[in-house]
């Protein structure tokens, strides 16, 4: 029997409890994931469909989440465009970052097929495994977020290199953002064609921009990407981080749901932007580092903060699961959600 809670919530239908899945639900906090990672590197794992499928299924098999998100990484399209990508103990690193217009001209817009992206094979395999049980989520980064990594080289709190490039090379920046957008459109289209029921776009670094720069550089390309994906008729979730000042613009995008970080109040966002915009989130991942009692209380409080969680709400974190998270605390969060029925929360005895 197909569990369509996520699709119903994204379609603003009434549901008996919020659907729940977690960003980075497959990852280092799971012992079964660590077992696989002890044998293979991160990029090899992403690019080996059989292993990517196994890892994608681990949280579903353990927690019975309401969706399976394919295991991959947002920077794979940057690699396919021609950049040298590696994953170190400190995170992803691009070794030949974009520093001038000439570098941008060298970038290709790769064909989106299973040979270029083994992730597409993984989605197709997941469809055969769980496509009749729960929805499959495909994903990518947003154009601006990929721009940040491609011009900075690695993750940063402020992305000063990326912003310096943006301010000193505005024309080249538009050219780079355009190439990224076209690449992501092809990639996400093929994810849907391979079996993804839902797409999530991660604009993790939108919040570092001012309102003016967001309107000039990030928003047009994100809007174009979302608009071009509309004919696929799949719901799109957009995740933004630390982006309170941008929400009036973000909320106008043609998305099914906005995935929020923990700094936002769910009801305030709904009051400000209307019930037609679905909401996802937004428990602080740090809560999962505490204990089961706190996790249950905070999860319950988060859901009850939304007056009408039965329509257009998806329970999730405000960012990805942290590597040091105890597995039993994830169980506590999901069990709390599963126990919701008829607008009541019941603790398991």
pLDDT tens string 137-192: 999 999 999 999 999 998 888 999 999 999 999 999 999 999 999 999 999 999 99
Classify the C-alpha dihedral 321-33-137-208 as positive or negative.
positive
> Rounded to whole angstroms, how far apart are CA atoms 188 and 309?
29
Average pLDDT over residues 339-344: 63
Report pLDDT digits (tens) over 22-60: 999 999 999 999 999 999 999 999 999 999 999 999 999
Question: To the nearest whole percent, how much of the chain has pLDDT over 90?
Answer: 94
Residue 227 has pLDDT above 80, yes or no: yes
List the structure tokens of 343: 């607008």
Cα angle 270, 276, 277; round to 5: 60
The pLDDT of residue 347 is 37
Q: Taking phi first (over 0 means left), then psi (-120 to 50 degrees means alpha), and beta for anything else, what does residue 295 get? A: alpha
Distance of CA 1 to the CA centre of its chain: 26
Average pLDDT over residues 289-312: 97
Average pLDDT over residues 291-317: 97
* Beta-ladder partners of 136: 68
Residue 339 has pLDDT above 80, yes or no: yes
Q: Which residues are catalytic?
A: 24, 28, 37, 73, 149
Question: To the nearest whole percent, how much of the chain has pLDDT over 70?
Answer: 97
Distances (CA, A) of 233 to 78, 103, 160, 174: 26, 35, 37, 28
Whether domain 5-345 has CATH 1.10.101.10: the reply is no
The pLDDT of residue 90 is 82
Instruction: Provide the residue ranges of all domains of the chain, joining segments of one domain with +.
Output: 5-345
Q: What is the 3-class SS of the chain, one letter each residue?
A: CCCCHHHHHHCCCECCCCCECCCCCCCCCCHHHHHHHCCCCHHHHHCCHHHHHHHHHHHHHHHCCCCEECCCCCCHHHHHCCCCEEEECCEEEECCCCCCHHHHHHCCCCCCCCCCCHHHHHHHHHHHHHCCCCCEEEEEECHHHHHHHHHHCECCCCCHHHHHHHHHCHHHHHHHHHHHHHHHHHHHHHHHHHCCCEEEEEECCHHHCCHHHHHHHHHHHHHHHHHHHHHHCCCEEEEECCCHHHHHHHCCCCCCEEECCCCCCHHHHHHHHCCCCEEEEEECHHHHHCCHHHHHHHHHHHHHCCCCCCECEEEEECCCCCCCCCHHHHHHHHHHHHCEECCEECCCC
> Rounded to whole angstroms, how far apart are CA atoms 184 and 72?
14
Average pLDDT over residues 114-118: 97
Q: Are strands 340-341 and 344-345 parallel, antiparallel or unpaired?
A: antiparallel
Band of pLDDT at residue 264, cut at 50, 70 and 90: very high
End-to-end CA distance of the chain: 28
The pLDDT of residue 349 is 33
> Rounded to whole angstroms, how far apart are CA atoms 19 and 337?
8
Q: Taking phi first (over 0 means left), then psi (-120 to 50 degrees means alpha), and beta for anything else, what does residue 25 get? A: alpha
Average pLDDT over residues 260-288: 97
Band of pLDDT at residue 291, cut at 50, 70 and 90: very high
Report pLDDT digits (tens) over 71-110: 999 999 999 999 999 998 888 999 999 999 999 999 999 9
Q: Are 304 and 314 in contact (CB under 8 A)?
A: no
> Rounded to whole angstroms, how far apart are CA atoms 287 and 17?
21
The pLDDT of residue 131 is 84
Average pLDDT over residues 241-252: 96
Residue 346 has pLDDT above 50, yes or no: no
The pLDDT of residue 1 is 83
Average pLDDT over residues 251-272: 97
> Rounded to whole angstroms, how far apart are CA atoms 280 and 266?
9
Residue 348 has pLDDT above 80, yes or no: no
Please give the radius of gyration of the chain, using alpha carbons only, rounded to the nearest integer: 19
**Range with the lowest mean pLDDT among 118-127, 152-161, 283-292?**
152-161
């Amino acid at each position: 029997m197909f569990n369509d809670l996520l699709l119903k919530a994204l379609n603003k239908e009434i549901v008996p409890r919020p659907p729940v899945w977690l960003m980075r639900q497959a990852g280092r906090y799971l012992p079964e994931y660590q077992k696989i990672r002890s044998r293979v590197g991160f990029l090899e794992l992403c690019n080996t469909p059989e292993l990517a499928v196994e890892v994608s299924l681990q949280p579903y098999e353990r927690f019975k989440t309401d969706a399976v998100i394919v295991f991959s990484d947002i920077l794979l399209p940057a690699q396919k465009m021609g950049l040298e990508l590696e994953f170190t103990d400190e995170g992803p690193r691009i070794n030949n970052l974009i520093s001038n217009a000439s570098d941008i001209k060298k970038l290709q817009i790769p064909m989106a097929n299973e040979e270029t992206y083994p992730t597409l094979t993984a989605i197709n395999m997941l469809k055969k495994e769980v496509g009749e049980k729960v929805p499959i989520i495909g994903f990518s980064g947003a154009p601006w977020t990929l721009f940040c990594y491609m011009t900075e080289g690695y993750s940063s709190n402020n992305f000063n290199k990326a912003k310096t490039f943006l301010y000193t090379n505005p024309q080249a920046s538009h050219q780079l953002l355009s190439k990224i957008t076209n690449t992501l459109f092809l990639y996400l289209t093929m994810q849907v064609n391979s079996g993804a029921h839902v797409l999530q776009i991660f604009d993790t670094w939108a919040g570092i921009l001012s309102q003016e720069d967001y309107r000039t550089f990030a928003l047009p390309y994100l809007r174009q990407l979302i608009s071009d994906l509309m004919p696929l008729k799949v719901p799109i979730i957009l995740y933004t981080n630390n982006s309170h000042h941008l929400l009036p613009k973000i909320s106008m995008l043609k998305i099914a749901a906005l995935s929020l970080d923990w700094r936002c109040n769910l009801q305030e966002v709904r009051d400000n932007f209307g019930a037609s915009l679905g909401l996802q989130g937004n428990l602080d991942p740090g809560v999962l580092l505490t204990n089961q009692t706190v996790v249950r209380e905070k999860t319950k409080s988060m859901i009850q903060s939304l007056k009408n969680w039965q329509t257009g709400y998806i329970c999730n974190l405000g960012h990805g699961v942290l590597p040091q998270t105890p597995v039993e605390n994830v169980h506590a969060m999901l069990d709390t959600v599963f126990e919701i029925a008829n607008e009541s929360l019941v603790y398991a005895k």
